[in-house]
Chain A
Amino acid sequence: MDTHETPRGMKRRTLLGCSAAFVAAQSLAIGTARANAYPSDTINYIVAFGVGGGSDIVARTMAKVIDEKKLIPVKMLVENRPGGSGAVGYSYISSRKGNPYYLGGVGVSFFTTPLLGKMPLSYKDFTPLAAIARSPYILAVLADSKIKSIDDLKSAKGLTIGSAGAVSDPALLSHLLNKQLGSSIKVVPYDGEGEVMAAVLGKHLDLLFGNPNEILEQVNAGKMRALAVTSAERMGSLPQVPSFEELGHDIVHTQLRGIIMPKDVPAEAVSYWEGVMKTVAESPEWRSQYVDRFNEIPLFLDSKQFGEEIVATSQRYETLMRELGLIK
C-alpha cells in the first residue's frame, strides 16, 4: 500500500496528462493489473453541511494534512452541498455509485435523516472507509449548580437538558441517562449547540451534553462543572472527570469522525483510502491541527471496524427514534 501513497513525480504527470481518457474507463481500469493507476483524477470530498460547521472543519483539516504530506498524487476538492438535513449531500454521494472519486464525511444526520424515511437511502448505500478521530460528549452543569455528581441527578426533580435538534447525540444520550438512572430529565430541543450553551449559561436549562472543546472553555473559565464523559475512558484534558462506564452506567457513545464512499467502489480504492487515512490519523500534523486543537480522542478504525460501528450507531438511533415515536 505504501507504493500507492508515494508515486514518483514522473508517473504523476503522465497520469494527469491522460486523465481525460481515464474518466471513461475508470471503473474498468481499476481492479485490473493497473491498480496503481488509482487515483488519476481529482477527488471530490462532499460535505453535506455548510462551511464552518463541525463536518466542514474535519474535511478541510484532513484535506490540508493530505495536501501538506502529499499523500495522494491528485487534488482533493472539498465541496459543500448543504440542504435537507444532509439529504442533499448524501443523495449526491450515493448517486455516484461505483465511482471511487467521491468521498464524504459522516455526521449524526447520516443516520437520522434516512431513518425518518424521507430519504430513499440508508448507511447500506455507502462504503465505509475509515474513522480518524473520536469526539466524546461531556455532561456539564453551571459551576454554582446544586448538582455535584451523577448520583445527584437521581434525586433531583424537574431537571432539563438541551439538545441541538430533536434527534441528536445529546438527545440520544439523555434518554440513555434517564433509562440508566431512572431519572426523568426533560430534553428541550434548540436550534444549535450555541443556543443550548446560551440557555445553560442563562439558567434556562440545567444540563447539557457538550463537545470537549466548548465545555473545556467554560470549565477553564470557571463557569461550568463537568460531571462525566461518554467515552469508555477518562479524557486526557479532563483527568479528574470520570467516565459513565467507570461509574457503573452503561453509557458509551461518541461521535466518530468517519469517511465514506459510494456503494460498489472497487476493493482497491477502499484499501487505498484506508492506507491514506491511517497515515493521516497517525500523523503529528493531524494530531496538532485537529485532534489536540479540538480536544478529541486520537483513533484509527479501518473499513471493517468502522462499518461495524456504523451498524451499531444506526441501531442505537433507530431504538431512540422508535421510543420517541418518530418512526413506527
Chain B
Amino acid sequence: MLESWHLLAEGLVAASQPSVLAAIMVGAIIGLFIGALPGLGPTAGVAILLPVAVSFDGTAAIAALGAVYYGAQYGGAVTAILLGIPGDASATMTVIDGHKLARNGKAGAALGLSIAASFIGGLIGLILLTAFATTIAQAAIAFGPIEMTALMIFSLSLVSVLGGRDLNKAMMSLFAGLFIGTIGLDPMVGLPRFDFGEVRLFDGIEFSIIAVGLFGLAEMYATPPSIGKPQEKNRFRFRELLPDVRGTLQCWRELGSGSLIGFFIGILPGAGATAATMISYAFAKRTSKHPERFGNGAMEGVAAPEAANNSAAYGNMIPMFALGIPGSGTTAVLMGGLLMIGLQPGPMLFQTQSEFVWTIFGSFYIGNLALVAITIVLTPVLATCAFVRPSYLFPAVIAIIVFGIFGINNAMFEVALVIGFGVLGYLMMKLDYPPVPLVLGMILGPILERGIRRTLVASDGNVAVFFQSPIALVIILITVVLLVSPWLLKNRAGKEHQMDEPQAKKIG
C-alpha cells in the first residue's frame, strides 16, 4: 500500500506536465457542460470526445476522457438543483431535495453542498481506488447473478421509505417503472417486448429521457402562469448565492455513507452510478432522525446522492483498469479509448503500463481539484438562474432539453418520447402519484430481472440456490430484519398497552 502512494506521487508529477494539464482542463469543462445538459450524460460525453482525444498522445487522451466522466458528475447536479431537471441520469435523486432548496432561496447553499459532496465523494472514491484497486476488483467479481438478486431485493426494500404518503400510489408508480424497464429486447431470449412494432424501442428507453420528462418538463407544465407576473419578481440577497459551509459540515454523516455506498455499488459490474444514488439516498433517509425533512429541501438529501455518484465513477473504473471488464456504458466507451491508443486493460495493465496507470490516477486528483475551483467560482453566477422569471427561463430551458435529448441518438423520436413522459409526469403530479418509485423501478428492475433469470437458467429453475450463497444469504437476512423490525416494534408497543391478558393466558 505504501508503494501505491509512492507511485501516486510520481503519477501526480507526471500528470502535471502541461499537455496533460491542458487535457484535464478540456475534459473537465466539457464534462461539466455535458453533465449539466439534460439528456446527455457522461457516456455521451466520453463518446463525443473519444474520436478527437485519441489523436492526442495516449496519456493525455485518457486523462481528458476520464475528466469528462467525473466532470459530468459535477455538472449533472447544477441543472438538477437550479432547474429541477436531472442533467444526467445519476443526478435524478439530487432533484428531489436540491430543487426544493433552490426554490426556498437556498440555491447557493445547495450548489455549494453538491460541489463539496462531489469533491468528498470523488476524493474518497479516488483514495480507495489508489489504495486497493486490485484487491477490490477481486471482491467485486464475487457478486454474480445470485448476489445481485439479493442486493436488488435489499435495495427495493429500502425504497419503501421513498414512496411518499400513499403506499398504494407509490406501489403503482413502482410497478409502472418496473414495466417500463422491460421494454426492449428480452435480455435472455432476444425477442422484443412491448416495442409496439417500433424498432427504435429495441434497446429500451434511455433513462435520462424518462428522468428529464418526469421531473423537468412535468414541473414546467405544472407551473402556474401567475409566477411569471412581474409583481412577484423574485428578490434575493447576495448571501443566498453563496455556499453554506456550516450546513455542509452538518451533513458529514450522509457525505460519508453516500461515498462508501456509491463506491461499493459502482464497482459491481452492471449496477451503475444511478442505482448507487438511489440506494444512498434511501439509506440516508432510512437512518435519519428526521426522515420527514427528506423531499422537502433537506441538505442531507443532496449530500448523499452527490457524494455517491462521484464515488461510484471511480468504483466503476476499478473493474476496467484491474480486470479489463467495463462495468457500465461509460467505462465501455473509456475502454474503447484505451484499446484505440494501444493499451489492453486487464490484470497485466498495472504491471506492464504502471507509469501510465499512475499518471492517469494522478490526473484524476488534479482534475477534481480543478473542478472544485471552477464550480465554486461559477456558483454565484449560476445560482442567479433560480431567480430568473419562468417566462424567460422556461423557453430557454425547453430549447436546451430538446437539444440535449435530440443529441442522444440524433433523432426526433426521443424528443417525442420526452414530451410524452413530461405529460405523464404532469398527470402523476396532479393525481399525487410520486415519480421517484417509478425511476427506481426502471433502474433496479432490469438488474433484478437479469439476476433472477440468469440464476434460474444456470440452476435449471432451482430456487434453492438463492439461499446457498453466503453473501446473498446475509443480504436477504438484513432485508428481512429491516422490513420486519418496524412492524415488530410497533406491535410490541401495542401489546404492552392492551394485550396483557391474552398473553398471560398463553404463557399460562
A213–B201 CA distance with the chains assembled, in angstroms: 32
* Tally of chain B residues near chain A (CB < 8 A): 58
Collect the chain B residues with CB atoms within 8 Å of residue A294's CB.
339
A201 within 8 A of B: yes
B457 contacts A188, C-beta separation under 8 Å: yes
B450 contacts A197, C-beta separation under 8 Å: no
- Tell whether A188 pairs with B325 under 8 Å between CB atoms, given A88-B199, A116-B190, A218-B346: no
Collect the chain B residues with CB atoms within 8 Å of residue A91's CB.
199
- Tell whether A88 pairs with B339 under 8 Å between CB atoms, given A192-B326, A202-B144: no
Collect the chain B residues with CB atoms within 8 Å of residue A88's CB.
199-200, 409, 411
Collect the chain B residues with CB atoms within 8 Å of residue A198's CB.
140-141, 269, 319, 323, 325, 327
B188 within 8 A of A: yes
Collect the chain A residues with CB atoms within 8 Å of residue B319's CB.
194, 198
A194 contacts B457, C-beta separation under 8 Å: no
B228 within 8 A of A: no
A223–B344 CA distance with the chains assembled, in angstroms: 15
Collect the chain A residues with CB atoms within 8 Å of residue B186's CB.
166
B337 within 8 A of A: yes
A317: shortest Cβ distance to chain B, in Å? Answer: 11
B47 contacts A213, C-beta separation under 8 Å: no
B486: shortest Cβ distance to chain A, in Å? Answer: 34
- Residue ID in chain A nearest B197 by CB atoms: A118
A284 within 8 A of B: no
A223: shortest Cβ distance to chain B, in Å? Answer: 6
Residues 74 to 124 of chain A near chain B (Cβ within 8 Å): 78, 80-85, 87-88, 91, 112-113, 116, 118-119
Collect the chain B residues with CB atoms within 8 Å of residue A223's CB.
347
- Tell whether A194 pairs with B327 under 8 Å between CB atoms, given A189-B187, A221-B348: yes
Residues 313 to 341 of chain B near chain A (Cβ within 8 Å): 319-320, 323-327, 332-337, 339-340
Collect the chain A residues with CB atoms within 8 Å of residue B407's CB.
none
Contact with B along A48-64 (1 / 0, CB 8 A): 00111100110011000
A282–B336 CA distance with the chains assembled, in angstroms: 25
A186 within 8 A of B: yes
B348: shortest Cβ distance to chain A, in Å? Answer: 5
Residues 297 to 327 of chain B near chain A (Cβ within 8 Å): 319-320, 323-327
User: Which of B203, B320, B336 contacts A56 (CB under 8 A)?
Assistant: B336
Residues 401 to 443 of chain B near chain A (Cβ within 8 Å): 409-411
A311 within 8 A of B: no
B335 contacts A52, C-beta separation under 8 Å: yes
A220–B188 CA distance with the chains assembled, in angstroms: 32
- Residue ID in chain B nearest A189 by CB atoms: B188
Collect the chain A residues with CB atoms within 8 Å of residue B394's CB.
none
A326 within 8 A of B: yes
- Tell whether A51 pairs with B336 under 8 Å between CB atoms, given A166-B189, A326-B189: yes
User: Which of B50, B325, B337 contacts A195 (CB under 8 A)?
Assistant: B325
- Residue ID in chain B nearest A120 by CB atoms: B199
B323 contacts A167, C-beta separation under 8 Å: no
B333 contacts A83, C-beta separation under 8 Å: no
A188–B458 CA distance with the chains assembled, in angstroms: 7
Q: How large is the interface on A (under 10, 10 to 19, 20 to 34, 35 or more residues)?
A: 35 or more
Contact with B along A311-328 (1 / 0, CB 8 A): 000000000000010100
User: Which of B201, B325, B450, B460 contacts A194 (CB under 8 A)?
Assistant: B325
B417: shortest Cβ distance to chain A, in Å? Answer: 13
B199 contacts A293, C-beta separation under 8 Å: no
A78 contacts B51, C-beta separation under 8 Å: yes
- Tell whether A52 pairs with B202 under 8 Å between CB atoms, given A83-B411, A293-B342: no
Q: Which of B48, B195, B339 has the most CB of A within 10 A?
A: B339
A118 contacts B192, C-beta separation under 8 Å: yes
Contact with B along A199-243 (1 / 0, CB 8 A): 101111100000001100110110100000000000000000000
Contact with A along B332-363 (1 / 0, CB 8 A): 11111101101010111000000000000000
A191 within 8 A of B: yes
User: Which of B195, B333, B347 contacts A52 (CB under 8 A)?
Assistant: B333
A326 contacts B333, C-beta separation under 8 Å: no
Residues 127 to 161 of chain B near chain A (Cβ within 8 Å): 140-146
B409 contacts A83, C-beta separation under 8 Å: yes
User: Which of B47, B48, B199, B324 contacts A119 (CB under 8 A)?
Assistant: B199
B454 within 8 A of A: yes
A194 contacts B458, C-beta separation under 8 Å: no
A160 contacts B333, C-beta separation under 8 Å: no
A260: shortest Cβ distance to chain B, in Å? Answer: 19
B372 within 8 A of A: no
B141 contacts A202, C-beta separation under 8 Å: yes
A166 contacts B450, C-beta separation under 8 Å: no
- Tell whether A166 pairs with B190 under 8 Å between CB atoms, given A52-B50, A217-B347: yes
A166 contacts B187, C-beta separation under 8 Å: yes
Collect the chain A residues with CB atoms within 8 Å of residue B141's CB.
198-199, 201-202
A203–B143 CA distance with the chains assembled, in angstroms: 10
A42: shortest Cβ distance to chain B, in Å? Answer: 16
A223–B324 CA distance with the chains assembled, in angstroms: 13
Collect the chain A residues with CB atoms within 8 Å of residue B332's CB.
52-53, 192, 194
A53 contacts B326, C-beta separation under 8 Å: no
Collect the chain A residues with CB atoms within 8 Å of residue B201's CB.
84
B191 within 8 A of A: yes
- Residue ID in chain B nearest A165 by CB atoms: B190
- Residue ID in chain B nearest A217 by CB atoms: B346
- Residue ID in chain B nearest A54 by CB atoms: B336
13 extra A-B contacts, CB within 8 A, seeds A52-B334, A165-B187:
A52-B332, A52-B336, A52-B340, A87-B199, A91-B199, A118-B195, A118-B197, A165-B190, A188-B145, A201-B141, A218-B347, A324-B190, A326-B190
10 A-B residue pairings within 8 Å (CB atoms): A57-B340, A81-B409, A82-B203, A85-B203, A118-B197, A189-B187, A194-B326, A198-B140, A198-B323, A326-B189
List 6 tightest A-B contacts by C-beta distance, closest first.
A52-B336, A204-B144, A166-B190, A202-B141, A221-B347, A217-B346
Binding site for A on B (CB under 8 A): 46-48, 50-51, 54, 140-146, 185-192, 195, 197, 199-203, 269-270, 319-320, 323-327, 332-337, 339-340, 342, 344, 346-348, 409-411, 450, 454, 457-458, 460
Binding site for B on A (CB under 8 A): 50-53, 56-57, 60-61, 78, 80-85, 87-88, 91, 112-113, 116, 118-119, 158, 160, 165-167, 186-192, 194-195, 197-199, 201-205, 213-214, 217-218, 220-221, 223, 293-294, 324, 326
